[in-house]
Every structure is written in structure tokens, then in C-alpha cells.
Amino acid sequence: MQLKALLVNGDPTGGELLRQSLPGLGHEVVAECSEDANLLAQVGTHTPDILVVYCSRPAGLLAKLKELLAEIALPVVLFTDESDPQIIQRAVHAGVSAYIVDGLEAGRIDSILNVAVARFAAYEQLRRELKDTRANLLERKAVERAKGILMKQRGYDEPRAYHALRKMAMDKNLRIGEVAENVIAVADLLN
């Protein structure tokens, strides 16, 4: 898989090895910047598939990475010399997909990038599923509450209240959750 990489170079030696190795592995370095650069602007300008970082002491960079990854979902591989468990935990919390300590060897780079991309994709899938599950739960709660309102105000039993919500949703070409929210809003307004 060919990747477009933005190289964030915090050390001339490590950055040089990455700069030379990535094209040889079939990846394109779309840009290179220092760790002090505005990463959000760099990613917005160059639209990389992956962020490849070499930074011997990443503590100062982690806040910038966290800010970037809150805005743009992107796999990040961080090559470093820092093995402090607290820094590693901060890196993972920031959203770094792969944190590689003392492992910058040309023969390992491609597999590290592939693992980081796969891990990132799996994480994004879980994140989407969690978001969908939360939305479904909120919708179900709204439907239950709307059924309760119809049962109380109209004297419907539960199946009839659900049928009324479902029929209105079909007639108005809306999701049942949207109809339930409308019923709740009207009931709140009238009470």
C-alpha cells in the first residue's frame, strides 16, 4: 500500500533515514516540517495519509499532536528515544498509532507503517460503532419516553403508542427517533 507521508523531523539524523527510506519503500513524502511547525496547517495543505514523526524527546510535541488529531483523524507513527512510561501513555492518549522506541531501522519502517495504519483503521471502526450505538440508545430512550407520553395523554397501550409513532414517521418520511423527539418537545411545551 502506497502512503502519502508528512514527515515531522525533530532530529536531523533520524529524519534523514526516514526521508531516504520512505520513497524506496514505495511511499511518497508529500512534505517535511519541523516539530515546531503548525501541524494542522501542514496536514490541511498536504493531505497526507499518515504522519511520520521522528523526535528524540516528544514531550513538547504531544500536545500539538493531540490538538491535531482532535480535528483530523490520521494515523501517526512516532519514532523516538524516549521510553518514559508516562510519555508513552501521553502519546497513546494523544492518539499516536505506533510509538517506536529505538527502533528506527530501514528494514522495519514499512511493517511499522502498515501496522500503524491497520491499528488506526480498527480504532476508527470501533469509534464509529460506539458513536452509532450511543445515537441508537438515545433514539430508543426518546421513543420510550414518547410512547409513555402517548400512553398517558391518549390512553394508548404500548403497542398502539409505538404504532402511532411509527405511522407518523412513515407518513412524514422521518426516522422514528425524530418523531419521538417532536412528541417530547410538544409535550414539554404544553406542560
Residues paired with 34 in a beta bridge: 9
Domain boundaries defined on the chain: 4-104, 130-190
Taking residues 86-101, what's their average pLDDT?
Answer: 93
- Does this chain's domain 4-104 share its CATH topology with 130-190? no
* Residue 67 clears pLDDT 80, i.e. is over it: yes
- Express as a percent the part of the chain with pLDDT over 70: 98
Is residue 48 within 8 A of residue 74, CB to CB? The reply is yes
CB contact set of 73 (below 8 Å; sequence gap of 6+): 120, 124
pLDDT at 12: 66
Q: Which pLDDT belongs to residue 130?
A: 96
Whole-prediction pTM = 0.75
Query: Considering the domain 130-190 in this protein, what is its CATH number?
Result: 1.10.10.10
| Residue 54 in this model has a pLDDT that exceeds 70 | yes
Q: Could you tell me the maximum CA-CA distance found in the chain, to the nearest angstrom?
A: 76
Please report, for residues 133, 168, 183, 184, 185, the alpha-carbon distance to residue 179 in angstroms, rounded to integers and kept in the order given: 19, 7, 6, 9, 10
- Name the more confident of 35 and 89: 89
pLDDT digits (tens, 9 = 90+) for 12-53: 666 778 888 888 889 999 998 888 889 999 999 999 999 999
- Where is pLDDT greater, at 106 or 43? 43
d(CA 191, CA 188): 5
Identify the pLDDT of residue 142. 96
Please give the CATH superfamily to which domain 4-104 belongs.
Response regulator (3.40.50.2300)
At residue 68, the pLDDT reads 92
